[in-house]
Structure 1
Amino acid sequence: MTKIRNMEEFARLTGISRPTVSKFFNDPASVRVSTRNRIEKALEQYDYRPNIFAINQNRKLTKNIGILVPYLADPFFAEIARKIERRCIDAGFWPILFSAHGEQKTENDILDSLRSLKPAGALLAPLGRRSDRAALEQFCRAVPTVLFDSNIEGIGTAFIGSDNAHFVGQIVEYLCRTGEPPCFFEMQPVNPNANKRRNAYIAVMERLGHVPNVLRVEGGGWDFEKVGYEGALAMLDANRLTTNTVLCSNDRLAIGFLTACYERGLKVGYAEGCALRVAGIDDHPFSRFTCPPLTTVAQDYESVSNRSTETLFQLIDSDGPPATRVEMLFEGRLVMRASA
C-alpha cells in the first residue's frame, strides 16, 4: 500500500485539487456528492488520515479548547475534566487537557504552550495561591478564558464554581444538630477554596453560639490523603481533639483521617460504641466507598462543567468580552452516610 505523507500527495494521487480535498476535510458536506464519494473511496484505498491538528492550526479561529487543572491524579479534577472534555467534543471542539502537577512553573509553561496552539478558548482551574498572577493575566488577555473551581479575582472573563460558604453552612448545621459541634481539620491551604471553607466554618459556628476550633496539620502539596493520615495520627496521639466530631476541609483529607482512626482502633460513625464522627466536603468519587462511607457535601459536578463550557462557547461566539466579569456559584447537597 502506498504510504501518503501529506494532503498534497493524497490530492495528486486522487487527481482531485488540493483546495477541494482541504474543503472536504473541513466540511464533507461542502463538496459535491460525486467528489465526496471519490475522496471517501480513495481514503479506503490508501488508508490516509490527514493531520487534523495541522489543519486546525491553519484556521483563523481554531477549534482547539485548552483545559488546565492543578492535579489530574485528583479524582475530583479527573471527573470534572472528563465532563468538560465530553461537552467540548459534542460541540465540535478539540479539547486539549493539561495538568499543572501542583507546580507554578509547569502551569506557566502550559499557558505558554496553549497560546502557541491558538486556542478558540480555554477553561482553567488555576493552582490558586501558587499561581503566577501576571502569567494568568497575560494569558487571559490573549485567549477567551473561563475559570472554574478556583477563583482568582479579576482573572479571566468568567468564573464558574461552588458556593463554599453554602457547603460549610449545610454540614456544620447538620453536625451541630445531630451531635457535638465539630472542630475543623485542615492543612496548609493550596487554593482559595480552602480559606473560604475555614472562614465559613468560623462564621457558622459563631452564629450558632459555638466556639470555633480550627486544627491545622503540617504538610503541603497535593498528597492530601497522606497529609490527613499523618496529621490525624499525630493529633490523636497527642489527644488534641476537644470534641468527638471532626469536619475535614475536604474529602481527601477525611479519607486520610479515617485511615488514622482505623490504625488507632477508633470506631467512626454515629452508632452506639463509636468514638468519633468524621465528615468531609466535596463528595469525592471515592467517598461512598470509604469505611465507613463518608458523610459530606456534594459538589454539583454536572452544573459546574456544563455552565463552564456553555459560558466559554458564548464568549467564543460573541464579538468581545462582557462589560463585567461573570461569576456563578452552585450550591452543594448534603450527603448523609455512616461516618457522621
Structure 2
Amino acid sequence: MEEQKIKNMEEFSAVSGISRPTISKYFNDPSSVRRSTRERIEEAIARYGYRPNLFAINQNRKFTKNIGIIVPHIVDPFYAEIVRQIETRCIEAGYWAIVLGSHGDAERELSAIEMLYSLRIAGAIIAPLGDTSVSDRIRRLAADIPTVIFDNHMNGDEIFVGTDNFQSVGLMVDYLCRSGEPPCFLDMPAVNTNARERREAYVRAMEEQGFQPHVIPAESAGWDFEELGYNAGLRLLPAHQLPTNTVLCANDRMAIGLIAAAFEKGLRVGRGAATALRVAGHDDHPMARFTAPALTTVAQDYVSIAENSVSTLFGMIENGVRPASPLRRLEGKLILRASA
C-alpha cells in the first residue's frame, strides 16, 4: 500500500486515473461498472488503501438509503433483538439502519424524530413510548415519510405490526386455568397500549372461562419493570395478599422481579405440591429461560415482527403505496417451562 494518504474521492480519481463519476458509480454498485474497470478500481483501492465515507455518499444522494429506527430503550433485550433483526434485513437490502433511543422520555422521542428528518431518511420503523409519546409528531412523520409502527399501537390509522395481545393472553389464561388454580394478574404501568390491551385481555379471558378476574394494579409508573415486580412481591407475598397462588404478569420483566422476591422470601415457585406459587409472563424475554425456575410465558415472534415491519416498509418505499390492511397482528406462542 502506498504511503500517500487519499482524503476524498476526487484525490482518488486523480491518482488512479479513473473518472470521478465512474468511481462514484462503483461505490454505489460495483456490478454497475465493466469488469475491467472494476478490477482497475479495486487494484487502486488496494494500492492506496482508500475507503470512502459511505455515509456522506449516502447523504448526497437525492434519495438516501437511510432507515431510521426509534425504540423506547435500546438496552431492553426485547427491543434489542427486534432492532438486530431489522438491522440485518436492512443491510441485506442495501439500506443503512440508524438506531435511536427515546429512553422513556417524550422530549427525547421528539428529538429522535427531528434527527430522522435531518438525516433525510427513506423510511422509519418506530416503537412509540405510548401514553407519553409525541403522537401527533409521529403521525406527521408518517404522513411525510414511509413509516411503520411496531409493538405499541397508537390507535390511529398508522401502519402497525405487533402481537395480538387478546390471542396471546387468552392462550396463557386458558392454560393456567386448565392446569391449576386460575391466575390473578400483576399489572404493568399504563405506559402504552400493550399494558391496557393485556389487562383487558386477561379480564375478558377469565370471564369467558367463568372465573372472577383479579387485577393487581401497578404501584408506580415507569419502565423499570423488574423492580416493580420485585417490589410488588416483597409487599404482597409476606402479607398473603395475593387472591390466588397463580400469578400471570403483564410482561416477563415483571415476572422476573416477582420470582426474585419469592426466592428472597423463601417461597418455591413452580409446579407441584411442594411449590407455593406459580408465575407466568408474556413476551419470551431473552432471559426468561434462565430464571430459576425457567419462566413459562407467551412468546412474541421477534423474527416475524421484524420481517413484517421491514417488508411492509420497503414495499411503501419502492412502490409508494400503503398496504391494503394497515394492521398486522401476529399470534403469540405458548412456551411451557418450570415456573407454571
Tell whether the 8 Å contact from 2:167 to 2:331 is kept in structure 1 after alignment.
yes
Q: Which runs of 4+ in 1 moved over 4 A?
A: none
Q: 1:301-316 alignment to 2 at 5 Å?
A: 301-316=302-317
Partner of 2:328: 328
**Code of the aligned partner of 2:252:** D
Q: 1:59-78 alignment to 2 at 5 Å?
A: 59-78=61-80
Task: After TM superposition, give the deviation of residue 325 of structure 1 in Å.
Answer: 5.4
Match among 60, 65, 77 for residue 58 of structure 1: 60
Task: After TM superposition, give the deviation of residue 219 of structure 1 in Å.
Answer: 2.5
Task: After TM superposition, give the deviation of residue 298 of structure 1 in Å.
Answer: 0.8
Tell whether the 8 Å contact from 1:151 to 1:159 is kept in structure 2 after alignment.
yes
**Code of the aligned partner of 2:304:** S
1:86 aligns with 2:88: yes
Partner of 1:199: 200
Q: 1:1-340 alignment to 2 at 5 Å?
A: 1-154=3-156, 156=158, 158-322=159-323, 326-340=326-340
2-structure distance, mates of 1:108, 1:53: 23
Deviations 1:21-68 (A, max 9, x none): 111111222223232222111111111111111111111211111111
2-structure distance, mates of 1:203, 1:24: 59
Partner secondary structure for residue 239 of structure 1: coil
Gaps of 5+ in 2: none
Tell whether the 8 Å contact from 1:140 to 1:155 is kept in structure 2 after alignment.
no
Tell whether the 8 Å contact from 1:71 to 1:222 is kept in structure 2 after alignment.
no
2-structure distance, mates of 1:60, 1:32: 24
Tell whether the 8 Å contact from 1:121 to 1:312 is kept in structure 2 after alignment.
yes
2-structure distance, mates of 1:118, 1:250: 35
2-structure distance, mates of 1:15, 1:336: 65
Deviations 1:274-318 (A, max 9, x none): 111111011111111100011111111111111111111110111
2-structure distance, mates of 1:319, 1:89: 21
Deviations 1:231-268 (A, max 9, x none): 21111233211211100000000000000000000011
Partner secondary structure for residue 237 of structure 2: helix
Gaps of 5+ in 1: none
Deviations 1:75-129 (A, max 9, x none): 1111111111111111111111111111111111111111111111111111111
Structure 1 residues 118 and 155, CA gap change in structure 2 (3 angstroms): farther
Percent identity over the alignment is: 54
Q: CA RMSD in A?
A: 1.3
Deviations 1:144-166 (A, max 9, x none): 0011111112253x111100001
Partner secondary structure for residue 122 of structure 1: strand
Tell whether the 8 Å contact from 2:185 to 2:202 is kept in structure 1 after alignment.
yes
TM value normalised by structure 2: 0.96
1-structure distance, mates of 2:168, 2:320: 36
Partner secondary structure for residue 254 of structure 1: helix
Tell whether the 8 Å contact from 1:164 to 1:197 is kept in structure 2 after alignment.
yes
Aligned length: 338
